[in-house]
Amino acid sequence: MFADVRTYWSGDAVKRATGYEIEGKAKEADGFIHLINSGACCLDACGELRDEQGNPVMKQWFDMTEEDMDKIMQATTWNAADLGYFRGGGFSSRFETRAEMPATMIRLNLVKGLGPVLQIAEGYTLELPQEVSDKLWKRTDYTWPCTWFAPRCTGKGAFKTAYDVMNNWGANHGAISYGHIGADLITFCSILRIPVCMHNVDEDKIFRPAAFNAFGMDKEGQDYRACQAYGPLYRRVR
């Protein structure tokens, strides 16, 4: 799904606003991020679908059934646009992701003098109590699709807390996929010669070309030096 990386909520802020004490994945990350966007979001991010074991999922399109489609549509409303945002009117899809699911948020930044660089944050969507969710949701726009996201934090650097993830994010948008696919994206980027500037993937899951080892001992530094030396796999022909 596509969403604004809109707001960070700390445990203390949630407690002040709602009286609720965060728990689980949210507490591990010392808060969570509000992912919300004006209608442009895949409806199956509502969290209503289940796999054969009963786990909430976002299914591949060819596994979707008529029953799945009905569940998604029942979880979605179509709300008139807030004229404060959209003077021309229109409508927005609206749902809430009411499930804890593994998710990977990414952003490709185009940096002058450097080119494309990728950011990756693996984590989990959250299901908050309805009353708590509504109070926080209304602080932004109550007519837009809503997902609460807790990145998997390591206690250091850009992944010290959920706040640090948001503070280090390139800008206020992200693309969010079901599952933890960060390791695959890092390998894919090494093939395309795109540096990865931020991620929380365990090192033992990462595979890069062996030739990158000649460019230093720190993995992220290797990315930049190797990609600069080898150049992009694809480039514009003038």
As a whole number, mean pLDDT of residues 182-204 equals 95
The tens digit of pLDDT for each residue in 94-116 reads: 999 999 999 999 999 999 988 99
The tens digit of pLDDT for each residue in 66-75 reads: 999 999 999 9
Query: In this predicted structure, what is the pLDDT of residue 169?
Result: 97
Q: Exposed e or buried b for every residue in 160-177, given b needs 16+ CB within 10 A?
A: bbbbbbbeebbeeebebb
Percentage of the chain lying above the pLDDT 70 cut: 99
As a whole number, mean pLDDT of residues 190-196 equals 94
**pLDDT higher than threshold 80 for residue 39:** no
The tens digit of pLDDT for each residue in 10-28 reads: 999 999 999 999 999 999 9
**pLDDT higher than threshold 90 for residue 89:** no
**pLDDT higher than threshold 80 for residue 40:** no
Q: Residue 44 forms beta bridges with which residues?
A: none
pTM: 0.93
Distance from first CA to last CA of the chain, Å, rounded? Answer: 34
Confidence of residue 85 (pLDDT cuts 50, 70, 90): confident
For residue 71, the number of C-alpha atoms closer than 13 Å in the C-beta half-sphere is: 18
Q: Which amino acid is at 186?
A: I
Report the C-alpha gap between 209 and 211 in whole angstroms.
5
**pLDDT higher than threshold 90 for residue 237:** no
As a whole number, mean pLDDT of residues 57-77 equals 95
CATH entry, 2-230, from 3.20.14.10, 3.40.1010.10, 3.40.50.1970, 1.10.3660.10: 3.20.14.10
Query: In this predicted structure, what is the pLDDT of residue 232?
Result: 86
As a whole number, mean pLDDT of residues 123-143 equals 95
